[in-house]
Amino acid sequence: MYGYLVPDTPTVIQINNLHKSYGALEVLKGVDIAARRGDVVSLIGSSGSGKSTLLRCANLLEDSQQGDILFKGEPVHWKGSGQGRHPADSKQVLRIRTNLSMVFQQFNLWAHMTILQNVMEAPVTVLGRAKAEAEEAARAYLTKVGIGEKCDAYPAQLSGGQQQRAAIARALCMEPEALLFDEPTSALDPELEQEVIRVIKDLATEGRTMLIVTHDMKLAADVSDHVVFLHQGKIEEQGPPDAVFGAPKSERLRGFLSATHAA
């Protein structure tokens, strides 16, 4: 199942037979996915296919009803079953979440804090880092994403592209094992979108482990080691980007790519 992965590289995230429902609506219907250290895995598919839900389940922001989630080989411990299933160990959840930093579509920056304060906050309050150490790291990551001069600005004073780059710096400042991107460019104008895409491409070049939900097929083709096409809660097709985009086997994937290309 995971033949695309290099065998001797540790698996950071592994999901087996994941099912997720909202009441009677079944959103994920038995999904398997894995990312080893240094892998970039992109999730593509139509709106409502379950991409973002899968990402939120991986980060334990959503409870799933069935299946296994493993972080670096360690399974998430559950209690209850079906709609009553929840993680059993809150300390384990916190540890996994802090190692799987999420970058959201809508930035989610705190409006009352400067950009520097936004990036420093979680390392200080969640990881217990000294303020001086966290500030040094925050400034370095803001410079890395190209907005080092915006440290003292507030989110409302930044463009959408700058806010998303600040959100990426905030995620990086947690020194996570993997980055999870949920449609990181879909709220941006095309010009601002390119600013964020450049940062993501740089991170991929560095060998960062990433799971990316994206509507941008060019981004998925350029940065991914593996592409997963979800359709109605199931994996319809997956493989290296050359195969998925260059020689799709499934009629549904061909139709999806044709529609996105036309758009």
- pTM (2 d.p.): 0.92
Structurally, at CATH architecture level, domain 11-107+178-262 sits in 3-Layer(aba) Sandwich (3.40)
Distance CA 163, CA 7 (A): 38
Q: What is the mean predicted confidence (pLDDT) over 14-41?
A: 95
pLDDT at 8 over 80: no
For the chain, the average pLDDT equals 93
Dihedral of CA 53/58/59/61: which sign?
positive
Burial state string for 226-260 with b = 16 or more CB within 10 A and e = fewer than 16: bbbbbbebebbbbbebeebbeebeeeebeebbeee
Give the three-state DSSP class for 25.
Answer: strand
Distance CA 115, CA 67 (A): 38
How do residues 203-246 score in pLDDT, each as one tens digit? 999 999 999 999 999 999 999 999 999 999 999 999 999 999 99
pLDDT class of 187 with cuts at 50, 70, 90:
confident
pLDDT class of 261 with cuts at 50, 70, 90:
confident
pLDDT class of 128 with cuts at 50, 70, 90:
very high
Quick one: angle between helices 131-144 and 160-172, nearest 10?
Answer: 130
Amino acid at 195: E
Distance CA 24, CA 65 (A): 12
How do residues 66-112 score in pLDDT, each as one tens digit? 999 999 999 999 999 999 999 999 999 999 999 999 999 888 999 99
